[in-house]
Structure 1
Amino acid sequence: MSRVCQLTGTRANNGMSVSHSHIRTKKLQQANLQQRRLWWEEENKWINIRVTTRALKTIQKKGLGKYAKSLGVDLNKL
């Protein structure tokens, strides 16, 4: 399974590690993904989904159905 948020599509970011002597090496900054079982109110069922913690905060605020609709994601296909 790839490390991609199933709602937002967030994936790893390229960055640099900078040492004390300012030697720079490449590194990957992975998204903070969590496997969650979320309740989908409109369909009255549970959905297992891999989402970022940022998306979880937005889901708590807006609700799963509204947030997925605003992103154009079909939850039935997940």
Structure 2
Amino acid sequence: MAKICQITKKKSNNGYSISHSHVKTKKIQQVNLQNKKIWSHTKKRWLKLRISTKAIKSLHKLSIEKL
């Protein structure tokens, strides 16, 4: 399964790890994904989602009804 947030569509980010001698090596910054059950008022059932922690914090602002 791909490491993508189902609500915000966040995915991994490419970056560099820089040593003291300024040698750059590539690294991947993964998204902090969590499995969460959320109640849907329109569907009247629980939805099992794999969402980022940033989406969990701002869940009341985001609309999950478009899923």
The alignment's TM-score, normalised by the length of structure 2, stands at 0.86
Identity of aligned residues (%): 42
Counterpart Cα distance in 2 of 1:37 and 1:68: 12
| Structure 2 gap ranges (5+) | none
Matched, 1:20 2:16: no
AA matched with 2:37: R
8 Å Cα contact 1:58/1:67 also seen in 2: no
The alignment's TM-score, normalised by the length of structure 1, stands at 0.75
What is the aligned residue count? 67
Q: Which has more helix, going by share of residues? A: 1
Q: How does 1:1-78 map to 2 (within 5 A)?
A: 1-59=1-59, 61-62=60-61, 67-68=63-64, 74-75=66-67
Q: Which has more strand, going by share of residues? A: 2
SS at match of 1:56: helix
Cα RMSD, aligned residues only: 1.5
| Structure 1 gap ranges (5+) | none
